[in-house]
Every structure is written in C-alpha cells, then in structure tokens.
Amino acid sequence: MTPRPRAARDPDGPFRTDVPARLDRLRWSRFHATLIAALGTSWIIDGLEVTLVGSLASALMLPTALGLTAGEVGATASAYVAGAVIGAIIFGGLADRYGRRRLFFVTLGVYAVATIASGLAPNFAVFLAMRFLTGAGIGGEYAAINSAIQEFMPAHLRGRIDLAVNGSFWIGAAGGALAAVFFLDSGLFGPTWGWRAAFIVGGLLAFVILPLRRFIPESPRWLLMRRRREDAIRVVEAIEAGARHAPDSSPPQTIVLDPRGHVGWLELAGVLFRRYPRRVVLGLSLMSAQAFLYNAIFFTYALVLTRFYGVSESLVGLFLLPFAAGNFLGPLLLGPWFDRIGRRVMITATYALSGVLIIGTGLLFSAGALTAQTQTLAWSVVFFFASAAASSAYLTAGESFPLEVRARAIAWFYAIGTGLGGIAGPLVFGNLIAAGARSDVFVGYALGGALMLAAAVVAFFLAVDAEGRSLEAVAAPLALREIA
C-alpha cells in the first residue's frame, strides 16, 4: 500500500528531481496492476452503461415503465453525450488544478449516484437529468484517469497499457448486451422493474470499485508541479519497494523544474495553439474521425441488422458479442507494436486499414453480398484495427502536451471529437438508413472511411514519435528549466 502524501511544499525557486525518470525505468509490478484495476475499470463501466441503455430503450417506452416516446429516448442519449462533453471539460480542469486523485473519487461518485438515481427516476424529466449527470461523471473519468495512467506508467509500456485500458470499453459492451437479456428476458424482474434493476446494479458496481481507489496515490508528476517534491519522492519510493527496475545501470536522469502555479484558460489556449499547433491538428483529426466512424456504426448497427437482414430485435444483442470481441482484441494485440514499431507507423497503419476496410465492407453491403453473419464478421475485422486506432487517439491527446495542461488537453479533444463525430455520425447514418436503399448507406460507409484515411495522412506527417520516451521528453513541462 502506498502512503498518502502529505501537503509539504518546497520553497519557491528551481529544484532538481529524478522522479519522472525513476517512474519510467520501472518494470510492471503489483502497483501497476492495482492501478489498472482501480482506474481502468471505468472504461468497462462506460461500455456496460452505453450498451445497456441502448438495449433498454424498448423497455423504457412501455407504459408500465416510464412510457417514453422514441424522441424522448433519443433525447436521453443526447443528454448522456452532452453530459460527457461538459463533464470532461469541467472535471479535466479540476484535475489539473486540484490533482488526479481527488477527482478519481468525485467523478466515479457522480457516475454511481446518478446511475442509481436513473433507476429510481419517476418521470422523463428526472431521468433526463440523471442521464446528463451520469455522462458528466464518465466524461470526467476520461480526463482524470487517462492523465494518471500515462503519468504512472513506465515509458516502455505506456502505449500498450493505454490502448488496452481504452479497449476494455468493449468488455463492458459485451457485458451490457448479456445483462440486458438477464434483466429483461430472464423472467426474474419483468419489464416494469427490470430496467430499474439494471441501472441500480450498474451504479452499485461503481461503488464496489470506489474503495480500490484508496490505494492509488496522487500522481508524483502532478505533485512536482505543486512543489511537493518530498511527497512525490515518498510515493515513488513506495512504488519502487514493490517493483523491479529495468536493466539499466546508469543513474536516473534529473531535470530542473520551476513551477509557476496553475495555468489559466487563456494561457492553455496559448500553449495548445502557439506551442503545439501541429499536435492540435493531429489530435482533432484523430479524435473526430474515430468518433464519427464509431458512433455512426455502433449506434445504428441494430437498424442495419433488423432492416436489411431481417434479424429479430431480441437477437440483435448476440450479434454485438463478436463485434465487441474484435474491438477489445485489437488494442490488446496491436498495442505492444505502438511501443516497438512506433506511434507514427502504427497510428497511420491502423487508421488507413480501418478506412480501406470500412469502404470495402460498404461495397460488399451495397452489392448485397453479405449475410447478417458475414456483415458482423466484416465489422469485427474492421474494428479490430479501428479500435486500436481510436484508443491511440486518447494516447496521443494525453502524451503530446505538457503535464500542467494534460487533463484539460484530453478533455477538450475528447469533447470536440465527441461533439463533432458523436453527434454527426448517428445523424448522418440514421438518415441514410431511413432512406431504405443500400446505396445510400454505402455513402455513409464511404464518408467514414474517407475521414479515417484523411486522419491517417495527417498522422503520417504530424504524429509524434513518443515510443519509449518520457512524457517530459515528448512535451516539456512549462516548468522545465534544465535537463541534466
């Protein structure tokens, strides 16, 4: 168990530290496994939440439930996305200002309470508000947790771990599909109470995870930015006590820092657009392209299966399982190559392959050459690569910008990407599917593929070669004065 740091502060002025280098040279240890169990499970919960709500849509429209209209069901989905966008921005700013650790508890607590309250909602208005707050909690998790995981992970493992954690969303998605069958079709709850039980259990699962976070200390890198050098050293020493160093006999590199305090919103804009304009273009391109493709396919796959292949609505959830498997296995199996071959090659390759394969899938669909089973197989192959690509977008947004603004950088790229792709994707695909012609749906596939190919070109020219390098070498902290 790592000690909880005390709020001791160093005097003003520059100071020398080897804390980042000591974190980067560690091998995988029990601490890192605990970190992933306590923080990375948020993505599983998000996948469970999104899939479960989609599966519960028909139940929510029953008169014995909330009696929602189709428009109101859509409004609750929009409220969740809007909450995630706003929550990411608000909680991302708080994570940079007050620390990652404090926000771990706040964001997961907001999610848990709001999810349980969703299951107890008496009417549409309350349900809508709770879905917004649930999304806000998840959005905050994305900003604070991606920051912390990257700041704790050794440099030689950062890429593969970050991709695997983001890809674990699909474990939750598969669980959500199975949970919907259990709560709605098992006969244990019935339609009146099944949907309520699903939300309540989802919130209780979050409360189960919450105590694990007591064992996660504050990020030593963030502590350095608050001049709490001794606290940072104590945290690192506790981690080192249970971990092995990578085989390197040389002493850890030291740097000289002179933190100036919190970076305001105007200064944040200057850091992003003046210091790193190319990385801003890269981050926006990667985030927007993957968000459009993912949201377009994921939120309309049920419509494609039922309308064009005659799949019963009760069986749609089973088709999600191989789709989820491809999405999870992609980041897990391809992740190590982001650390070995490099970010530029792998980001370019996964985005380009995703674009080509989704256009190819669209051509086969348009020609009527696929069945429901082969369509699902094709999606699974496409998103084996697309899931790794999408996860690399979050990796890029975090490691490409200085420590002082990392959580807010992740938050803004997530918010803009989700706002653009998350809203436009389902809207475009929904209208194309409603038109009823396969050729119209192909237009959507072609558009998604073109965006992924365009992002691949951007990555080829602008991607940052961050593999194996410390975060401070990839994006120098604003407080950096010297590298020894």
C-alpha distances (whole Å) from 421 to each of 23, 203, 286, 317, 322 are 36, 27, 11, 24, 24
* Per-residue pLDDT band at 317 (split at 50, 70, 90): confident
Q: How many CB atoms lie within 10 A of CB 18?
A: 16
Element (H, E) at 358: helix 343-366
pLDDT digits (tens, 9 = 90+) for 435-460: 778 888 888 889 999 999 999 999 99
Q: How many CB atoms lie within 10 A of CB 158?
A: 27
pLDDT digits (tens, 9 = 90+) for 293-311: 887 787 667 778 888 898 8
Q: Which amino acid makes up residue 114? A: A
* Per-residue pLDDT band at 158 (split at 50, 70, 90): very high
* Homologous superfamily assigned to 24-216+266-472: MFS general substrate transporter like domains (1.20.1250.20)
Q: Decide if pLDDT at 250 tops 80.
A: no
Residues 460-479: what's their mean pLDDT?
95
| DSSP sequence for 398-420 | HHTS-GGGHHHHHHHHHHHHIII
* Per-residue pLDDT band at 1 (split at 50, 70, 90): very low
To the nearest 10°, report the CA torsion of 455, 459, 462, 463: 140
pLDDT digits (tens, 9 = 90+) for 160-211: 999 999 999 899 888 887 877 777 665 677 667 888 888 898 889 888 888 8
Q: Give the 3-state secondary structure of residue 35.
A: helix
Name which residue leads in pLDDT, 69 or 3.
69
Q: Decide if pLDDT at 318 tops 90.
A: no
* Per-residue pLDDT band at 5 (split at 50, 70, 90): very low
User: Which residues contact residue 33 at a Cβ distance below 8 angstroms, ignoring those fewer than 6 apart?
Assistant: none
**C-alpha span between 55 and 177 (Å, rounded):** 7
Q: How many residues does the chain have?
A: 484
Q: Give the 3-state secondary structure of residue 263.
A: coil
Do residues 137 and 107 make contact, with C-beta atoms less than 8 angstroms apart?
A: yes
Quote the pTM value: 0.88
* Residue ranges of domains in the chain: 24-216+266-472
